[in-house]
Amino acid sequence: MRKNIFVISLSLLVFACTPSTYFQLLETVSEDYGLVENEVYFENDNLLISYEFWANKGNASFKIYNKTDKDIFIDLKRSHLIINDIAYTYFQNRSFYVKPVSSMSAATDEQLEELRKVKLPGVLQKKLPIQSNESVSFLEERIICIPPKGAQLINGFPLLNYPYRNCDLSRFPSNKQMFFLEFDSESSPFTYRNRIAYAFDEKMNDVQFLENQFFVNKITNYSAKDFVSYENFSFCKDTSNINIQTSAFYKPNSFYVKYRLEPGPIRH
């Protein structure tokens, strides 16, 4: 009986010393994208598409810029994000309803507002409420217009909802330990293709397509202690007392998936 108690106590001690939160870092590459500042971009003679994938589960939303001197129309029903050959259509005939945000303390409001004002590369994404006094509802449009030398923001899809699992990739590394796998375009477990249908008239008589593609070339698992760091928010050499989570692994063409320790014998 004492032996059983000792074994259980030892197991609980080991479990307590094991990190409970982990991050899977996924890095992407492409033959035809470019990197500028904190964005990944693809372009042709008419359009320029820019992304910043960095977010939990990946952020495939993008900004699409009209390089021409004419209006360009995008057909979202014929535009898709294609993940491993499965197409996710941008137009889904949705209704959007924006609710008023409940009141918060003045100090919290100031902190949230300060973080909203600045785009912070490497900051781990958190959902921040948008202040609104009135409720607004609107329908999703199938055809959107981008004016000359202007841009539109397109809401995308998560790049990966769950951490990738492989027999050669331990899910639960200890602190100061990491496990990774590397891939080429043929062996990658995740390939992505964005296909945008556009025309210079609203009736979409002469449709053209802009396609770009990329794939995951490296996957690494980290404990939270090795992946996350903390620092005070600063801007233009001014530093506040707001403590924010950042990561030294930030790249605009990378993203991460946060996950928790699962008790049991399955370690991969």
The structure's pTM equals 0.78
**132 C-beta neighbours (distance < 10 Å), count:** 11
**What pairing do the DSSP bridges indicate for beta strands 47-51 and 62-66?**
antiparallel
Residue 254 lies in a domain: yes
**Sole residue written with tokens 């021409």:** 68
Q: What is the pLDDT of residues 153-164, one digit of tens each?
A: 999 999 999 999
Residue 200 lies in a domain: yes
Residue 9's pLDDT band (cuts 50, 70, 90): very low
Residue 42 lies in a domain: yes
Residue 36's pLDDT band (cuts 50, 70, 90): confident
The alpha helices in 191-266, defined as continuous H runs, are 224-227
pLDDT for residue 204 is more than 80: yes
Say how far apart CA 2 and CA 6 lie, in whole Å: 6
Residue 130 has a pLDDT of 46
Residue 12 lies in a domain: no
Q: What is the pLDDT of residues 177-199, one digit of tens each?
A: 778 999 999 999 999 999 999 99
**Residue 57 lies in domain:** 19-260
Provide the domain count of the chain.
1
What dihedral angle (degrees, nearest 10) is formed by the CA atoms of 27, 249, 120, 21?
100
What dihedral angle (degrees, nearest 10) is formed by the CA atoms of 101, 106, 111, 113?
50
Mean pLDDT computed over 118-124? 53
**What pairing do the DSSP bridges indicate for beta strands 34-36 and 39-43?**
antiparallel
Mean pLDDT computed over 122-135? 53
